[in-house]
Chain A
Amino acid sequence: MTVATDGIPEDTGSSHGGFKLKEWIFTTDHKRIGIMYLIGSIAALLVAGLMAMGIRIEQTYVGESGLIQYFVGDFAGNMTTGDAYNAALYFHGAAMILAFLIPGLTGFAANYLVPLMIGAPDVAFPRINALSLWLFWMGILVALLSFIIPDAPDIMWTGYPPYSITTSTNTAFYVFTVHLLGFASILGAVNFLVTIIYMRAPGMGWNQMNMFVWTTFAAFIIQLIFVPVLAAAVTLLLLDKYAGTNFYNPDAGGDVLLYQNLFWFYSHPAVYVIFLPAMGIMYEVIATMAKNRIFNYKVAVWGGIIGILVITGEVWVHHLYIAGMPNWIRIGQMITTLMISVPVGLMVISWWGTLYKGSITYSTAMKYASANMFLVLVGGLTGIPLAMTSMTVHLSETSFIHAHFHFIMALFATFSMFAAVYHWFPKMTGRSAEGKLADAAFYVTFLGTQLTFWPLFIIGIEGMPRRYWNYEMFPQFEPYHMVATIGSFIIAFGAALMILNWIKAAINGPKVGANPWKSRSLEWTHTDIIAGPGNFPKPVTVSEDWTPYDYANADGTPNTSN
C-alpha cells in the first residue's frame, strides 16, 4: 500500500507501464482514482440506460408489453407490470443522478483534472480520496443488489413518504445507497476544497484558475453544505420504516411535506452539482478548441458560478409548487426561481462570447460541445415556464418536466461527460479516440436524443403524466411514445458505438504528442502526455499574467510566448 505523508504519494506504482491489479486497488493516485470513478459511473450509466430502454419499451404501446419484468431481473415473471416498471424507473432515476452524473462529474472529472489544472502533485488527503472511491463502489453495489433481492425498491429516486414507508418494498436499499454515495461525496468535497484552497501552483491567483476548477469548487461547496441534510432526511425515513418512529407519519404528528422540503433542499442544489462541472468542462473544451480566452471571465465566475451558489439554497420550493405550500411562498419562489436565469444567462453569454472571433477546430469533444449549446438552450428555456408557479400547476408531473430535465441535466451533463472523455482521452491513455467511429457515435446519439425527447415535450404539454406505464386514458399519445422508443434504440446504438470506440482507441488508437489540442492549460503544457506519479516532472510556478486561456494577448494578437 502506498503511504502518503505530505500530500505527495511516495509510491503510486513503480511506473504506469504494465497493469497490476493490486496497484490499482490500493492506489491513492488521483488520476487512477479518477479513472476508476469513470469506470464505475459508466457502469451505472449502462445499467440505468438499460432500465431506460425497458421503460421506453413498456410505454411504446398502450397496455402491457410483457417485457419490463426481464429488465429488472424478474425472469420468472413474479412481478406485476406496474411493480417491475416502478422498480426500473426507480433504478434509472437513482442510478443516473446519484451513481452516474454526480460521481462522473465530481468524481471522475474533478479527480482527474483538478490537481493537474492547478499544478498540484495530488489532492490534499490522498488516502481519504481512495476511501471515497471505495465508498462509491460500495454504493453502486448496494444499488445493484436491488435486482437480486425480492421486493426491489420502487419509491422513485425522490422516495417521498408516506409511500416509501408504507410500501412493502425495500426502502433500506435506497437509504443505504444515498448514505454511501453521500458520504463518498462529502469526503470528496472536503478533499477538493482543501486542495483548491491550499495547493494551487505558486503564483496562481483565484482569477487565474481554470473554469472547470471554479465550477468544481462551487459544486463541492454545495455538496458539503447540503448532502448532510439529505442524509439526515433519508435516515429519518429509515427509522420510520424499520424502527417505528413517526417523523413523517401524519397520523402521529409527523409531516409529509417536511421530507419533500428537506429532500429538495439538497436535491435542487444537486442539480447545480451536476450542471456546474458540466458547464466547466464545456468552457475548457470550447476555449481550447476555439483557441480563445473565456469571454468576460470574471463576470462568468463571480456573477455566473458564484451567483448560482448564492441563489441555490433559496429556490427549492419550486419542486413543491403543487404540493400545497402556502400561496405566498409559492409565488415568492416563482420570482427567486426565475432569477436563476440571471447567473445562467451570464454563463451562456460568456460561452457564446468565447466562440466569438475564435478559431474553432472540430474535435469530437467540440462536436459534443456544439450539440450542448442546443441542449442547454432548449433545456434552459423550457425551464422558464416551469419556474412560473401558475404554469407549473399544469406542467408539473407531466412528461414536459421529464423532457426538460433530460435536456438540461441528463443530456447536457452526459454529453459534457462524453466530451470530457474524448477531450482528455489522450491524457488518460496517450492515444487519440478521434475518428469516423467517434463521429458516427456522436451523430447517432444526438439524433436519438432528439427523437426521444421532443415527442415527450409535445405530449407533456397535453398532459401525459410521468411515471405511467399504462396510458389507456390517453390513447392519442401512442404515436409519440413510439417515436420516443425508436429514439431510445438509436441512443443505445450510438452509445454502443461510442463505448466500442473508446475500448478500441484505448487499446490501439493512434499515439499522440504531449499537447494534441495545443492547449495553454497546465495539464497539457507542464506534464508528460500520461502524467506520472506526482504529476509534474518539476514543480510548477506560474507568472502573474498567466491564464489557462492566453492564446491571444489582451489586444487580440496571437500570444507567442510560452
Chain B
Amino acid sequence: MKHKAHRFFASMLVAAFFASTPGMAAEIPNIPTPTEGWNTVWHEVLIDLWVIGILFGSLGAYFLVKYRAKDPDAVGSGKKLDFRQALAWCLIPCALFLADDFMLAAKGWTLWNTQRTIPAGSMEIKVTASQWNFTYEYPNGVEISSTDRDTDKNLFGTEIMDGDLVIPVGKPIVMRMISSDVIHSFGLTDYRLKEDIMPGRVTYIWFMARKPNISQVVCVEFCGTNHSGMYNRVVAVSKANYDTWLAKKKQEATLRRRTYAANIIKR
C-alpha cells in the first residue's frame, strides 16, 4: 500500500513537464508576490537567527568550558554589579533586542502588505471546504472537487487529475474561502501561504505562479478522521493551456448536466 502510493506520486511529479510559451514572460505582471517576498524575508531572518545563535551559543559554550571548577571547594568570583552597571546591563540589551525586533517588524510589515493587498486584475476562485474536501468554483461556473483523483492524460501532454486546481501562470489568483462544517485551513506550501477557512466567515488569500509548476494545497487545520487526506495539487500552466483545460471542463460539465436531464426525462 505504502510503496504503491509512493511510486504513484513520485511518477506524477516526474511526469510533470511543461513547455513554456515563447513571449510568455512579457505577460507576467511585475508585481511583488507573497511567495517571493516570503522567501526573501525568510533568508534575512535566518541570517539574523544564525548571528544571534552563534554569538550566544559560542559564548555559552566558552563559559561552560572556561569556568570549570579548579578545585571542589572553589567558589565563583562574580562581582555584584553596582547600580550603574546593572542599569547598563538592562538598558543596552533591551535597546539591542528592541532594535532587532523593530527591524524584523518593519520587514514583516512590508511583506504583510503584499500578502494582504489583492492586486487589480486578479481572478477569483471560490473555495468551499467541507470534511474532507475542497470544492473550487471558477468564475465561469466550472466546479472542481479535490478528492477526484482520476488522471486525464490526454490534455496537452500533462497528467492532470480531475481534482487538480489548475491556474494560469502570471495571473494573480484570489481564493474566496468559506467552510460548510468545521474549521479547515488552506495551505499552499510552495507558495508560502495559509489562511483558515471557517463556517460563517469569509477569508481570502492571493498568490500568483510565475512559472508552470506543480505544488500541493493541504488542509492544515485539524478537521477530523481524514484530515490528512484533504489535499490536492495546484497545477500552474500557461494561459493557452489553461484556456484549453477550462473549455474542456466546461464542456464536460455541460455534458454531464445534459445526461442528467436526459435521464430524468427518460424516467
Contacts and interface: CB of A to CB of B under 8 A. Distances in A.
- A–B contact, 8 Å CB criterion (strictly below): yes
B6 interface: yes
Nearest to A156: B222
Contacts of A27: none
A382 B69 CA distance: 33
B93 A397 contact: no
B75 A552 contact: yes
A344 to B, nearest CB: 9
B101 A341 contact: yes
Interface residues on B, range: 35 or more
A390 B111 CA distance: 6
Given A339-B98, A468-B227, A475-B10, A377 B56 contact: yes
A296 interface: yes
Contacts of A64: 1-2
B143 interface: no
Interface string A325-353: 00100110011001101100110110011
Contacts of A327: 112, 116
A466 B221 CA distance: 8
Given A334-B105, A359-B67, A296 B90 contact: yes
B29 interface: no
A418 to B, nearest CB: 18
B1 A473 contact: no
Contacts of A541: none
A62 B228 CA distance: 11
Interface in B34-72: 34, 37-38, 41-42, 45, 48-49, 52-53, 56-57, 59-60, 63-64, 67-70, 72
B49 A381 contact: yes
Interface string A43-82: 0000000000000000001111000000000000000101
Given A341-B100, A381-B52, A393-B193, A356 B78 contact: yes
B42 A359 contact: no
Interface stretch (A132-140, A162-170, A218-226, A233-241): A162-170
B67 A290 contact: yes
Contacts of B201: 250, 256-257, 324
B202 to A, nearest CB: 8
A339 B63 CA distance: 27
A359 B73 CA distance: 9
A176 B203 CA distance: 33
Contact of B224 (A61, A154, A322, A556): A154
Nearest to B231: A473
A251 B181 CA distance: 10
A338 B104 contact: yes
A473 B216 contact: yes
A554 B228 contact: no
B109 A292 contact: no
Contact of B77 (A82, A468, A557): A557
A257 B200 CA distance: 10
Given A64-B1, A378-B53, A291 B182 contact: no
Contacts of B239: none
A473 B223 contact: no
Nearest to B114: A390
B228 to A, nearest CB: 4
Contacts of A83: 225
B35 to A, nearest CB: 9
Nearest to A254: B200
Contacts of B70: 359
B189 interface: yes
A509 interface: no
Contacts of A512: none
A160 B183 contact: yes
B49 A296 contact: no
B45 A385 contact: yes
B2 A62 contact: yes
Contact of A358 (B67, B112, B225, B228): B67
Contacts of B104: 338, 384, 388
Contacts of B6: 62-63, 472, 475, 478
A191 interface: no
A501 interface: no
A323, A394, A468 — which one has the most chain B CB atoms within 10 A of its CB?
A394
A470 to B, nearest CB: 5
A323 B19 CA distance: 38
Interface string A454-466: 0000000111011
Contacts of B231: 473
Contact of A393 (B81, B195, B226): B195
Given A324-B196, A391-B42, A397-B185, A374 B57 contact: yes
B175 interface: no
Interface string A11-49: 000000000000000000000000000000000000000
B115 interface: yes
A322 B59 contact: no
Contact of A342 (B9, B64, B94, B187): B94
Interface string B95-107: 0011011101101
B5 A62 contact: yes
A390 B38 contact: yes
Interface in A300-339: 303, 322-324, 327, 330-331, 334-335, 338-339
A245 interface: no
Nearest to B100: A341
A551 B97 contact: no
A222 to B, nearest CB: 22
A397 B42 CA distance: 17
Contact of B93 (A346, A354, A361, A475): A346
Nearest to A392: B194
B76 A292 contact: yes
Interface string B80-91: 110000100110
Interface string B170-202: 000000000001110101011011111011110
Contacts of A339: 98, 101
A167 B224 contact: yes
Contacts of A465: 187, 189, 218-220, 228
B56 A293 contact: no
A356 B64 CA distance: 9
B229 interface: yes
The 10 A-B residue pairs with the shortest CB-CB distance in the complex, in nearest-first order: A463-B189, A250-B200, A292-B76, A63-B2, A468-B228, A397-B220, A394-B192, A358-B76, A390-B111, A388-B108
Interface of A: 61-64, 80, 82-83, 86, 154, 156, 158, 160, 162-163, 166-167, 250-251, 255-257, 290-293, 295-296, 298-299, 303, 322-324, 327, 330-331, 334-335, 338-339, 341-342, 345-346, 348-349, 352-362, 370, 373-374, 377-378, 381-382, 384-385, 388-391, 393-394, 396-398, 461-463, 465-475, 478, 518, 551-552, 554-559
Interface of B: 1-2, 5-6, 9-10, 34, 37-38, 41-42, 45, 48-49, 52-53, 56-57, 59-60, 63-64, 67-70, 72-81, 86, 89-90, 93-94, 97-98, 100-102, 104-105, 107-109, 111-112, 115-116, 181-183, 185, 187, 189-190, 192-196, 198-201, 203, 216, 218-229, 231, 233
Given A293-B76, A466-B222, A471-B228, 6 more contacts: A250-B200, A293-B80, A296-B90, A299-B90, A381-B49, A463-B216
